[in-house]
Structure 1
Amino acid sequence: MAPSSTPGKLDGSGPVVAGKLLARKRPHLIPIYDIRIKQLFERPKTDHSFWAALPAALRADNGAFYDQLARLRNKAGIGEDIGVLRVFDVIAWMHQGRQGQVPTS
Structure 2
Amino acid sequence: MARKRPHLVPIYDIRIKQLFERPKADHSFWTALAAALRVDNGAFHDQLVHLRDQAGIGEDIGVLRVFDVVAWMHQGRQGQVATS
Q: TM-score, normalised by structure 1?
A: 0.76
Matching of residue 90 in structure 1 with residue 77 in structure 2: no
Deviations 1:16-74 (A, max 9, x none): xxxxxx01110000000000000100100100100100010000100000000000000
Question: Which structure has the larger Rg?
Answer: 1
Matching of residue 23 in structure 1 with residue 5 in structure 2: no
Is there any run of 5+ residues in structure 2 with no aligned partner, and where?
Answer: none
Q: Give, as a single letter, the amino acid of the residue that structure 1 aligns with 2:60.
A: D
What percentage of aligned pairs have identical amino acids?
84
Runs of 4 or more above 6 Å deviation: none
Quote the RMSD (CA, aligned, Å).
1.2
Q: Looking at both structures, which has the greater relative contact order when contacts are Cα pairs under 8 Å and sequence separation is at least 6? A: 2
Does the residue aligned with 1:24 lie in a helix, a strand or coil?
coil
Q: TM-score, normalised by structure 2?
A: 0.95
Aligned pair count reads 83
